[in-house]
């Protein structure tokens, strides 16, 4: 039976695109953090939508689960297959569907296959004097199909929104093999329901994204990049609000003091040049450095705490620091990680409340914070003195953090998604009717639960 399936898979995509060798499969079976490991009958690499349709139909006939996989950079185990207790599953990996199909300069849009990497799209747009603004540290590996399936965020959400805001059209293969063709490149299209929205952020549970039409934007005329240290978050928010009136703010990132210390200890060659309770890294899309300096000096902040420039070398150095924060944090050891969002007006309240609650149970705990303050999104990591204790206390720490997040109107997943990591928390944090409606949509589209099972639901 297994051999018959493997033969049929080979007939659809070609023998070389069906990986069964355990050594070659290794990287596809684990997640980026090394937290999850699964197994699969095969890793299969289609090259066309037609091949995806055939794969899906074959899997339906034989009750085989499909794990859609892009660049496998999910931070919540979303693209990792399940373990040996789920024997009938294949990984469908899109790395060979990596063609840019068209660019429409006047319409400012680009049509791509799902397996194009994010950096491939950014560079292609640049070559045509256009700008694609999605910016995440995994851009060299993650694929646009994965970005859309997770509704990725990143550092430019404050100006350009999440991926959802950058998608004009999609082609989707449903679990029964039907193709939904919404590959239009229109900015306005009010013909009843905008069905593609259901698939954006659906984490491979409702269909396979095979192609996409994306918005392109004008290349910014210049950047002013700044680093400023502040005593509290209210000061940072005040700065953000003033800057936003006068400039196009495209990034507003925060680095907490413990994170500053951890980073500086690991990356001695490119230290964070300021220090205080909080350091803010911000970027304005403007060629007018003098105007930016003048405005900030009028706010009355101590300018010794400010580094600001339009110099490319400095810009690269500062953004390198930001990119290496998750790396430094990972090197520092195991932490219970949270990707949370709150109304920006309640961030400070949350941090004070939650620090108090965490310290009540774990007086020695370190809370390591960085993230996208401009979007109300914190990467909020709790680490106990001993690794074994951090691991054993994960559920309790989650309970303390998520209870406070939810009590202040926040979300347990700002941008990384639910995957396997937050499965039980998705239910507990959802309004029951919303949770049930999402389940009904899943049941309607995938009644046999073959698309990325045991993720989200
Ligand atoms: C260093 C680092 C930094 C990161 N920074 C950010 C950040 O700033 N913001 C952010 O949002 N995320 C970030 N991430 C998380 C991750 O890169 C994003 O979630 C990304 O969008 C995933 O893309 P991928 O191609 O790797 O998808 P995968 O990890 O392969 O898959 C993710 C999910 O999408 C599904 N999927 C993949 N391709 C398809 C498809 N074609 N059709 C249907 N479903 C599909 C999978 O089944 C899975 O559920 C970061 C990750 C790393 C490692």
Q: How far is the CA of 178 from the CAs of 15, 117, 172, 342, in angstroms?
A: 25, 25, 8, 38
Say how many C-beta atoms besides its own lie within 10 A of residue 141's C-beta: 16
Question: Rounded CA gap, 15 and 8, in Å?
Answer: 10
Query: DSSP per residue over 66-126, as a string?
Result: EEEESSS--SSSTT----TTS-SEEEEE-TT---EEEEETTTTEEEEETT-BHHHHHHHHH
Q: Which helix (H) or strand (E) holds 227?
A: strand 223-230
Q: How far does residue 73's CA lie from ligand 1's centre (Å)? A: 5
Query: Is 393 close to ligand 1, i.e. is its CB under 6 Å away?
Result: no
Query: Is 374 close to ligand 1, i.e. is its CB under 6 Å away?
Result: no
- Which among 408, 409, 439, 411 is positioned nearest to 425, based on CA atoms? 411
Query: Is 413 close to ligand 1, i.e. is its CB under 6 Å away?
Result: no
Q: How far does residue 322's CA lie from ligand 1's centre (Å)? A: 19
Query: Is 118 close to ligand 1, i.e. is its CB under 6 Å away?
Result: no
User: pLDDT per residue over 255-267, tens digit each?
Assistant: 999 999 999 999 9
Question: Rounded CA gap, 205 and 175, in Å?
Answer: 9
Query: Is 152 close to ligand 1, i.e. is its CB under 6 Å away?
Result: yes
pLDDT on residue 115: 98
CB 307 within 8 A of CB 227: yes
pLDDT on residue 450: 98
Q: How far does residue 148's CA lie from ligand 1's centre (Å)? A: 8
Q: How far does residue 164's CA lie from ligand 1's centre (Å)? A: 14
Q: Please classify residue 282 by burial: count the beta carbons closer than 10 Å to its beta carbon, then call 0-12 exposed, 13-18 middle and 19+ buried.
A: buried
- The closest-lying atom of ligand 1 relative to the alpha carbon of residue 75 is 15
pLDDT on residue 302: 63
pLDDT on residue 335: 95
Query: DSSP per residue over 346-390, as a string?
Result: GHHHHHHHHHHHHHHH-TT-EEEEEEEGGGTEEEEEEE-SSHHHH
Q: How far does residue 418's CA lie from ligand 1's centre (Å)? A: 11
Question: Rounded CA gap, 401 and 411, in Å?
Answer: 11
- The closest-lying atom of ligand 1 relative to the alpha carbon of residue 210 is 41
Which residues of the chain fall short of a pLDDT of 50? Answer: none
**Nearest-CA residue for atom 6 of ligand 1:** 136
pLDDT on residue 86: 87
pLDDT on residue 303: 60
Q: How far does residue 328's CA lie from ligand 1's centre (Å)? A: 20
Question: Rounded CA gap, 86 and 39, in Å?
Answer: 8
Query: Is 46 close to ligand 1, i.e. is its CB under 6 Å away?
Result: no
Query: Is 358 close to ligand 1, i.e. is its CB under 6 Å away?
Result: no
Query: Is 204 close to ligand 1, i.e. is its CB under 6 Å away?
Result: yes
Query: Is 137 close to ligand 1, i.e. is its CB under 6 Å away?
Result: yes
Q: How far does residue 152's CA lie from ligand 1's centre (Å)? A: 7
| Token code pair at residue 151 | 């509704």
- The closest-lying atom of ligand 1 relative to the alpha carbon of residue 68 is 47
Residues found in the chain: 457
Q: How far is the CA of 297 from the CAs of 134, 279, 286, 324, in angstroms?
A: 31, 17, 17, 30
Query: Is 339 close to ligand 1, i.e. is its CB under 6 Å away?
Result: no
CA angle (8 as vertex; 6, 13 as ends), nearest 5: 95
Q: How far does residue 334's CA lie from ligand 1's centre (Å)? A: 21
Domains of the chain: 2-93 (3.30.43.10), 100-215 (3.30.465.10), 221-327 (3.30.70.2190), 333-416 (3.30.70.2740)
Query: Is 78 close to ligand 1, i.e. is its CB under 6 Å away?
Result: yes
Which residue among 36, 53, 76, 79 has the greatest number of ligand 1 atoms within 8 angstroms of its CB, and so is best to mutate? 79
Q: How far does residue 96's CA lie from ligand 1's centre (Å)? A: 17
3-state SS, residue 161: coil
Cβ-count burial 70-85 (b if 16+ within 10 Å, e if not): bbbbbbbbbbbbbeee
């Amino acid at each position: 039976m297994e051999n018959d399936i493997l033969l049929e898979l080979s007939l659809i995509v070609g023998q070389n695109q069906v990986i069964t060798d355990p050594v070659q499969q290794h990287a596809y079976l684990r997640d980026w953090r090394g937290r999850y490991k699964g197994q699969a009958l095969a890793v299969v690499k289609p090259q066309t939508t037609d091949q995806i349709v055939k794969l899906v139909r074959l899997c339906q006939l034989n009750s085989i689960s499909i794990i859609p996989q892009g660049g496998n950079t999910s931070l919540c185990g979303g693209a990792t297959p399940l373990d040996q207790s789920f024997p009938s599953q294949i990984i469908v990996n899109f790395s060979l569907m990596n063609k840019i199909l068209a660019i429409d300069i006047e319409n400012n849009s680009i049509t791509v296959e799902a397996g194009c990497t994010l950096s491939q799209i950014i560079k292609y747009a640049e070559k045509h004097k256009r700008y694609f603004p999605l910016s995440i540290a995994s851009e060299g590996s993650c694929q646009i199909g994965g970005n859309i399936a997770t509704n990725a965020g990143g550092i430019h959400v404050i100006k350009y929104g999440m991926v959802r805001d950058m998608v004009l059209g999609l082609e989707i293969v449903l679990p029964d093999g039907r193709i939904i063709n919404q590959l239009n490149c229109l900015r306005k299209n009010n013909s009843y329901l905008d069905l593609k929205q259901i698939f954006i952020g659906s984490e491979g549970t409702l269909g396979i994204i095979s192609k996409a039409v994306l918005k392109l934007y004008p290349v910014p005329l210049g950047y002013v990049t700044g680093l400023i240290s502040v005593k509290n978050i209210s000061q940072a928010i005040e700065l953000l609000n003033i800057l936003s009136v006068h400039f196009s703010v495209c990034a507003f990132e925060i680095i907490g003091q413990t994170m500053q210390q951890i980073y500086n200890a690991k990356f001695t060659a490119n230290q964070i040049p300021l220090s205080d309770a909080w350091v803010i890294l911000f970027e304005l899309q403007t060629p007018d450095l003098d105007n930016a300096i003048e405005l900030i000096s009028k706010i009355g902040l101590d300018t010794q705490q400010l580094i600001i420039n339009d110099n490319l070398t400095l810009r690269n150095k500062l953004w390198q620091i930001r990119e290496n924060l998750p790396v430094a944090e990972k090197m520092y050891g195991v932490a219970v990680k949270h990707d949370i969002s709150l109304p920006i007006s309640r961030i400070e309240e949350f941090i004070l409340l939650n620090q108090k609650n965490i310290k009540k149970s774990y007086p020695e705990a370190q809370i390591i914070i960085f993230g996208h303050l401009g979007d109300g999104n914190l990467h909020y990591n709790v680490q106990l003195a001993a690794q074994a204790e951090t691991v054993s206390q994960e559920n309790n720490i989650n309970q303390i953090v998520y209870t406070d997040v939810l009590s202040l109107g926040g979300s347990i997943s700002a941008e990384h998604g639910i995957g396997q990591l937050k499965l039980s928390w998705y239910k507990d944090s959802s309004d029951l009717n919303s949770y049930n409606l999402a389940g009904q949509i899943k049941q309607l589209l995938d009644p046999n639960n073959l698309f990325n099972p045991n993720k989200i639901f």
